[in-house]
Chain A
Amino acid sequence: MEETTESFLLFTPQDAICEVSEHGLVIIVEEWGCLQARVYYRKELFVSYEYSAESRPRFGVSLGLLVDTLSTFSSTGTTGLELSYPGSDMQLLLKLTDADNTCIYAEIRTKVTDTVPKEYSVDGDGGRRAVFAVKSAALKEAIDDLEWPGSSISITISPDPAGVILRGEGHHGDLQIDFPYDAHNELFAAFQCQSEVSYSYKYKFLRATTANVPNSVTKDNRGSKLTIGAGGLLKVQHLISLRQAQQHNMDPNPTQQGRVSYVEFYLMPDEEA
């Protein structure tokens, strides 16, 4: 869990919002009014998940503190971290008990939050969206390289010639990175585009979507999916493989699904298209 939440660390120290439901746990961070990040922990990922509440609890918690706290637990390297909420004073409680009589526990103060995170969606709008998924390592490298030109990066997805072009123009020069679909099929896990779509995004926001992803994402290289929806809303989604937890009361047919978690970023385009 620590790895996935660390991917938010590019954000300035502030609060993350946790939403708990019967389906699982979501941690959301919003920044600058136009960038949102979400990490999902579906209940199937947990060895056991107990939930009972009349309305879905939502609370704020300091992001940096959450990451530091989680890192104290990961040192033991065992599964069995127990999360519970709320504590006697609305805290988020964490506990890890080892076989040999050792117990690590933490209580994090939470904040009442009035902010309701925006619900972004790239679906709908009658198929005008464009989607592609490429190997995570390739995407991260491309975006790292684009640091050089400048502050605004354009992403163009076109059906003919099929492919994706990332381009940055700056004081020192221009840099264009092509991902041609036909020539480099092995890079793509998905590609769907009916008509050409092109939008620009601030570099620092784009960078935030790939800069701190856990190493396992680039190592596993399962794929990062980018979707541009109506109005240029960009969704970047990374799949994170998780270690298989001990299955106790899980369904008898654990699917491939049970072993991944998602980190999603939503990004609004630059004002001038």
Chain B
Amino acid sequence: MKFKAFFTDKGVTTLEKKFVPAFEKIGKTCYVYLTRTHVTLMHNAVNADGVQAIAQFKEALLFDDYRISSQNEDRIAFTLDLNLLLRALKSSVSMDGDKLQIKLVKKRPSLNERPMPYLTLESKGFRSAVVQDIPISQPLSRGDVQELQDTIDAVHNLPRTLVQMPDLGQLQILVDRLKNVGEALDVAVTFHGDVHLQVSTTLVSIGSEFRRLQVLGERAAAGSTLDATASPAMRLEQALARGEASSVQVKIKHFAKSLQCSLTRPDTCYVGVAPSDSYLVMKFQFYAPATHHPDTAVTLHYRLPVLERVG
């Protein structure tokens, strides 16, 4: 298998300043999955007991002269330590003007050991050449690669309704405080554009309701409104009873980690509940430069496992 490409400037910035830091907050190592057309970073792709995050880039956004080949339909996947990747990218940034090449190699760490796979970043310039080797796992088997692909395909099967998320900074502060109170967070989304967050224990119940947010997909019928004078809890019950809302429970720790997605500086964020209340989904969009249209070259999804409700 072979992989070689040159980073574009935008590619380095996108990864170094936005996506790798955000993904580092979720976990130390993640999958890197390369195909002929796309490059994907994934967390907890299979066997998700944590936040599952998938960032997919069209290769042209990150690389020039992208070359890949393998016996598995030109698909390659492995895991690596995000901190090492970040450090390598950061030190490459200081070498202005040089081309930064990335390639997959097999090297012996020392004479007595067997060859191990590495991702090598090579900065080639007039004055100097710097080589950084990032150790990676053995490339994944055909079966494992197919599982990654299946996960990506499943993620595109989005909830019927997605509601715009309230301001991420405000949410982070709120969730930080709610963490002191309990471990499980109830998240509810209504077709009217409301988002409810609540933590409950036997002694206290604290929640927050955000109303009139933008709705993507299925929304409430024009004439149908919720009682504006009722308490937030009653309003949510009303919506659930009418089938106009979904509510699930997630670990508040996972939710807090997902909010670190703000490091990628998305332009819009939406939250929704996957069919059969199986996951809580967050979808992020990045606008193409100087437009207000989502850039199809980058997609980011987070999926949070849902807790079995007790009682």
B177 at the interface (CB under 8 A from A): yes
B74 at the interface (CB under 8 A from A): no
| A65, A71, A72, A106: most-surrounded residue (chain B CB, <10 A) | A72
A75 at the interface (CB under 8 A from B): yes
Q: In the bound complex, what is the Cα–Cα distance between A106 and B198 (angstroms)?
A: 9
B202 at the interface (CB under 8 A from A): yes
* A105/B174 in contact, CB under 8 A: no
Q: In the bound complex, what is the Cα–Cα distance between A107 and B208 (angstroms)?
A: 12
* B232/A103 in contact, CB under 8 A: yes
* A75/B174 in contact, CB under 8 A: yes
Instruction: Say whether, besides A65-B203, A103-B232, A75 and B208 are in contact (CB < 8 Å).
Output: no
Contact pick for B203, options A62, A71, A105, CB 8 Å: A62
Contacts of B206 in A (CB 8 A): 69, 72, 104-107
Contact residues, A185-222 vs B (CB, 8 A): none
Interface SS majority for chain B: mixed
Contact pick for B209, options A62, A65, A69, A105, CB 8 Å: A105
Q: Mark A14-30, 1 if CB is under 8 A from B, else 0.
A: 00000000000000000
B160 at the interface (CB under 8 A from A): no
- Distance to closest chain B CB from A241 (angstroms): 25
A68 at the interface (CB under 8 A from B): yes
- Distance to closest chain B CB from A144 (angstroms): 27
Contact pick for A69, options B202, B204, B210, B232, CB 8 Å: B204
- Distance to closest chain A CB from B265 (angstroms): 22
- Distance to closest chain B CB from A112 (angstroms): 14
* B177/A105 in contact, CB under 8 A: no
* B204/A103 in contact, CB under 8 A: no
Contacts of A106 in B (CB 8 A): 204-207
- Distance to closest chain A CB from B210 (angstroms): 5
B34 at the interface (CB under 8 A from A): no
Q: In the bound complex, what is the Cα–Cα distance between A69 and B200 (angstroms)?
A: 12
Q: In the bound complex, what is the Cα–Cα distance between A71 and B205 (angstroms)?
A: 14
Contacts of B173 in A (CB 8 A): 75
How many interface contacts (CB-CB < 8 Å) are there between A and B? 58
B87 at the interface (CB under 8 A from A): no
- Distance to closest chain A CB from B194 (angstroms): 9
Contact residues, A68-89 vs B (CB, 8 A): 68-69, 71-72, 75-76
- Distance to closest chain A CB from B164 (angstroms): 12
* B174/A104 in contact, CB under 8 A: yes
Instruction: Say whether, besides A68-B180, A71-B177, A75-B173, A109 and B202 are in contact (CB < 8 Å).
Output: yes
Contacts of B180 in A (CB 8 A): 68, 71
B181 at the interface (CB under 8 A from A): yes
Q: In the bound complex, what is the Cα–Cα distance between A65 and B166 (angstroms)?
A: 26
B67 at the interface (CB under 8 A from A): no
Contacts of A68 in B (CB 8 A): 177, 180-181
Q: In the complex, which residue of chain A has the Cβ closest to the Cβ of B177?
A: A72
Q: In the bound complex, what is the Cα–Cα distance between A108 and B181 (angstroms)?
A: 11
Contact pick for A108, options B166, B203, B208, B233, CB 8 Å: B203
Q: Mark B175-188, 1 if CB is under 8 A from A, else 0.
A: 00110110000000
Contact pick for B231, options A75, A105, A109, CB 8 Å: A105
B211 at the interface (CB under 8 A from A): yes
* B204/A65 in contact, CB under 8 A: yes
A55 at the interface (CB under 8 A from B): no
Q: In the bound complex, what is the Cα–Cα distance between A109 and B178 (angstroms)?
A: 17
| B174, B180, B207, B208: most-surrounded residue (chain A CB, <10 A) | B208
- Distance to closest chain A CB from B19 (angstroms): 28
A253 at the interface (CB under 8 A from B): no
B142 at the interface (CB under 8 A from A): no
- Distance to closest chain B CB from A102 (angstroms): 5
Q: Mark A45-76, 1 if CB is under 8 A from B, else 0.
A: 00000000000000000100100110110011
A257 at the interface (CB under 8 A from B): no
B212 at the interface (CB under 8 A from A): yes
Q: In the bound complex, what is the Cα–Cα distance between A23 and B207 (angstroms)?
A: 30
Which B residues are closer than 8 A to A by beta carbons?
Answer: 166, 170, 173-174, 177-178, 180-181, 202-212, 231-233
Q: 25 pairs across A/B with beta carbons < 8 Å?
A: A65-B204, A69-B204, A69-B206, A71-B177, A71-B180, A72-B174, A72-B178, A72-B206, A75-B174, A76-B170, A101-B210, A101-B212, A102-B208, A102-B209, A103-B208, A103-B209, A104-B206, A104-B207, A104-B208, A105-B206, A105-B207, A105-B232, A107-B204, A107-B205, A109-B202
